[in-house]
């Protein structure tokens, strides 16, 4: 996306109005960095078979690196309508512990699970308005557990706390924060750029993600730099 700072009022109005609805052009939906991991078998598998127990197993596998974990979810893609993939993954996590989903707490999750749940939930609903599990006629909100009630950023914040030195976790959280800034309106679009590039500044060398994947994200996010004045841009 190449963003022009000088947009006509009509075009700006159209963008602001359409963004909450479609979000087809956004930090979460316009950064297909899984392309940098096409040589990884599980990425190919996810592209063919979608989400199933084998994918869930890999998302929870501590031997899978966090960048590959994120790339699997990126390959699965985003949902135009809110979906239940994160809830399905939580059910898998609960089964693997012989627990009910409502019994799973943030403390019980590994960094890998918190990352996967948070990013999967954000891709389930790029408006970021959904929790892992929704209340319905047969299930009141008071009966939902802590993780069931969690939103994407809460889960990703938990992942960062569990593994604060991991670049991939921080980078994915920055993408979701950038998405939140985009949805807050054009007056916050500088923060789309700042959220992501502040993480790059914090991790100048220890980046456990393929450079090609980072570049794919940066090529999109850099367009929002035009919305920052010279004093607010992080160099």
Q: Summarize pLDDT for 150-160 with one digit per residue, the tens.
A: 999 999 999 99
Specify whether the CB–CB gap between 68 and 168 falls below 8 A.
no
**Phi-psi domain of 77 (left: phi exceeds 0; alpha: psi -120 through 50; beta: other):** left
Residue among 29, 42, 13, 109 nearest 77 (CA): 29
CA–CA gap between residue 19 and residue 129 (Å, rounded) = 14
Percent of the chain surpassing pLDDT 70: 85
Q: Summarize pLDDT for 191-230 with one digit per residue, the tens.
A: 999 999 999 999 998 899 999 999 999 999 999 999 998 5
Q: How far apart are the first and last CA of the chain?
A: 21
SS3 call for 181: helix
Residue 134, pLDDT above cutoff 90: no
Residue among 77, 40, 33, 79 nearest 61 (CA): 40
Q: What is the pTM of this model?
A: 0.87
Specify whether the CB–CB gap between 190 and 227 falls below 8 A.
yes
Backbone angles phi, psi at 65, to 5 degrees: -70, 155
């Amino acid at each position: 996306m190449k963003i022009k700072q000088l947009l006509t009022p009509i075009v700006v109005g159209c963008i602001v109005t359409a963004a909450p609805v479609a979000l087809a052009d956004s930090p979460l939906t316009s950064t297909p960095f899984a392309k940098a991991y096409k040589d990884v078998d599980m990425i190919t598998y996810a592209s063919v078979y979608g989400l199933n127990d084998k994918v869930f197993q890999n998302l929870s596998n501590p031997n899978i690196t966090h960048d590959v974990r994120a790339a699997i979810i990126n390959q699965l893609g985003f949902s135009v309508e809110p979906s239940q993939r994160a809830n399905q993954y939580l059910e898998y996590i609960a089964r693997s512990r012989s627990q009910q989903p409502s019994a799973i707490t943030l403390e019980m999750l590994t960094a890998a699970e918190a990352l996967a749940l948070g990013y999967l939930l954000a891709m389930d609903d790029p408006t970021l308005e959904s929790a892992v599990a929704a209340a319905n006629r047969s299930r009141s909100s008071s009966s939902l557990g802590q993780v069931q009630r969690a939103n994407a950023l809460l889960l990703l914040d938990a992942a960062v706390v569990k593994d604060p030195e991991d670049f991939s976790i921080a980078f994915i959280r920055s993408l979701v924060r950038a998405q939140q800034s985009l949805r807050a309106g054009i007056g916050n679009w500088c923060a789309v750029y700042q959220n992501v590039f502040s993480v790059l500044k914090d991790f100048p060398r220890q980046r456990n993600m393929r450079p090609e994947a980072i570049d794919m994200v940066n090529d999109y996010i850099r367009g929002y730099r035009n919305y920052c004045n010279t004093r607010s841009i992080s160099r």
